[in-house]
Amino acid sequence: MTATLIDGKAIAAGLRAEVAARVKSFHAKAGRLPGLTVVLVGDDPASEVYVRNKGIQTREAGMISDEIRLPGSISQAELLAVVRKLNEDDAVDGILVQMPLPKQIDANAVIAAIDPAKDVDGLHPVNAGKLAQGMKALTPCTPLGCMILLEKSGVKVAGSNALVIGRSILVGRPVAALLLAANATVTIAHSQSRDLAALCRQADIVVAAVGRPELVRGEWIRPGACVLDVGINRMPGEGGKSKLIGDVHFASAREVAGQITPVPGGVGPMTIACLLQNTLTAACWRSGIDPETV
C-alpha cells in the first residue's frame, strides 16, 4: 500500500485565497482592513526568511502588514514597551513576536505581555487556557493547520486513536487539545514515554512534532493510518546545500500509511496561512463581527 500524499502547499494556497476573499467582506462590514504587526528581534537568518514570507502573504491576502525590527541587544524592558504600544494601537489586530528571542529576553514574559485579543500566535496563557477548556480562542497556527489538513483530507477524527509525539506549547499540547475537542482519543508522547513504537501501532492518526529527524519508522505505523509530520530538521544535503527532513522516515512510512504529509510541502505551508486566518478572526472579534459572517 502506498499512502496518498496530503498536499499542504495546495491546501494552504486554497486557505489563503479563502482568507483574501473574506478580508474583502470584512472590509465592507468594518470599513477597515485587518492589520498584522510582526516584531523581529536580532538578525537570525531563518527568522528573516519567515518574517519576509509572512509580510508577503499578509499583503497578498489584502491585509495591512507591518514589521518592527529591533536590535538583538534590546533589553527586556524595551521590548515589553514595544509590545505594550502595539497593544494600545487600534489599527493593529495581530501581534506576532518572532521566536527565538535573544538570551537576555524572557520569551514567556513577552508572550504574556501581548493583549490576548491580538495574540495571533495563540501562545498567551489566556488563549492556551481557553483552548484547554474547549472555549473559543486564538489557536496556535501549526496545530490549527494540522486540523485543517485532516478535515480537507477527509480523515475521520471523532472516535479515532490519535497519538501526538511532542508536548511543546507551540505544537504538541495545542494539537492534542484540538484533537480532543474534535472527539479523538488522544495520547501525548514525549521524551520520557516508554515504547513509542507500541503507542504508534495503536494510532489511527500520528502527529509527529519532535524535532528528531526520521524518528518515527514505517514499521511503527498502523496500516492505513494518517501521518502528519510537523518536524522541520535542516540537514546537510548535496553540493553543500541543506535539505529539510521530517520527524517521520517518509520512505518507509508512506508504504504503510493511508495518508501522509511530505516534508517540505505538508504541514509547513499551513502555518502562515493559519496566521492570516487568525489575524482575520482577531480583527472580526475586535470589531464585534462574527467571523462566520465574513
Q: Which residues are catalytic?
A: 54, 98, 121
Q: Which of 248, 186, 190, 252 is nearest to 223 (CA)?
A: 252
Cell 472579534 found at:
285
189 binds ligand NAP per the rule CB under 6 A:
yes
Smaller CB distance to ligand NAP: residue 271 or 281?
Answer: 271
Size of interface with ligand NAP, in residues (CB under 6 A): 26
- Which of 35, 116, 172, 218 binds ligand NAP (CB under 6 A)? It is 172
Question: Of 67-75, 113-121, 197-205, 228-236, which part binds ligand NAP (CB under 6 A)?
Answer: 228-236
- What is the nearest approach in angstroms of ligand NAP to the Cβ of residue 283? 22
User: Is 174 among the residues that bind ligand NAP (CB under 6 A)?
Assistant: no
Residue whose CB is less far from ligand NAP, 105 or 216 = 216
The DSSP letter of residue 155 is: -
Interaction between residue 230 and ligand NAP (CB under 6 A): yes
- If one counts every other C-beta atom within 10 angstroms of the C-beta of residue 136, the result is 11
245 touches ligand NAP (CB under 6 A): no
Q: Does 209 bind ligand NAP (CB under 6 A)?
A: yes
For ligand NAP, the closer of residues 82 and 196 by Cβ is 196
For the packed helices 45-60 and 268-286, what is the interaxial angle rounded to 10 degrees? 60
Query: Exposed e or buried b for every residue in 81-111, given b needs 16+ CB within 10 A?
Result: ebbeebeeeeebbbbbbbeebbeebeeeebb
Contact partners, residue 103, CB within 8 Å, separation at least 6: none
